[in-house]
Structure 1
């Protein structure tokens, strides 16, 4: 939720300088590492693939030359480090596309049927991640699954307020999966 701790950390890992930058990046790397260590098998099963051959990230379209999400997946998170490849780049027209999903937002290095785990830091509308997935598929990926570190929620949209209310009643557990919403470990 906007203004709450996790939303604040997702903003700060990209936008603060100095020692705080490393602090927030380490925290998010730990969250991603723990989530994938526990739930990547669930994502694989849901996608009906034996493995994700390649891990990549949704690049920035804001002109940021070194997106910190890439450093998390390529260097800091042990379960993604050896599979990471920098595949995607924004096109020259990417920033002008606004929030609409578009296959023209990104280009991808060629793939040969690999299954790709695509990581995004913040899911607001999903358009950037969906555009990146489309570029990976167009470049030859077999299956593409998206994992987002965080989701911005608008409680004025649909029944989101009810979902938030019910979620706050549940106790957090790393063992509860978003694809299989019960403790399964």
Structure 2
């Protein structure tokens, strides 16, 4: 799992990740466009790093973690399938939640989703937020069970609550590092 950024509870990026799904009208489109640009920029700079770490030449297929809350057309799917040039031509709808997926709660379950058949494909799985990781891990397990050779997960925001445990200390350490689009979370140095 590779996060694009931390999404701290009650701070701007976490708010944007909520609004791109829940705002209405022009405001919703504004947040979708912004997040699509973030994903596009991140993948342009670092998708190769992710493929290298997975020891694959690249990801021929991109898909997203679908909603288990009954949202008919998830905006992340729209972004990856239509808005983000780095994913648009490789996007495939592969996953569907089982009818009672929401009842599984916050547990990893390889049966939470079903996947179309794959034949040794390398898949880049995109999710919007990672809190416990249960949905993304369940989706990755379904893709592997369907025949994916490799599955890498990219999340727009790693959701953190600084009031929980020693999270505040980790966040303070993260804030000390200089931000640059060219610094890779996997290589941890500037390669731009």
Secondary structure of the equivalent of 1:152? Answer: strand
Name the CA distance, whole Å, in 2 between partners of 1:159 and 1:32: 29
Q: Which one of the candidate residues 69, 74, 88 is aligned to 1:62?
A: 69
**CA contact 1:93–1:104 (8 Å) conserved in 2:** no
Alignment correspondent of 2:160: 153
| Structure 1: segments with no counterpart, 5+ residues | none
Q: TM-score, normalising length from structure 2? A: 0.94
SS at match of 1:150: strand
Q: CA RMSD in A?
A: 1.0
> Larger RCO: Structure 1 or Structure 2 (Cα < 8 Å, ≥ 6 residues apart)?
2
Q: Distance in 2 between matches of 1:134 and 1:154?
A: 27
Aligned residues: 185
Select which of 183, 186, 190 maps to 1:176: 183
Which segment drifts farther, 158-167 or 35-44? 158-167
What TM-score does the superposition give when structure 1 sets the normalisation length?
A: 0.97
Partner of 1:109: 116
The 4+ residue runs of structure 1 with deviation greater than 6 A are none
Match of 1:31 in 2: 38
| Counterparts of residues 31-180 of structure 1 (less than 5 Å) | 31-180=38-187
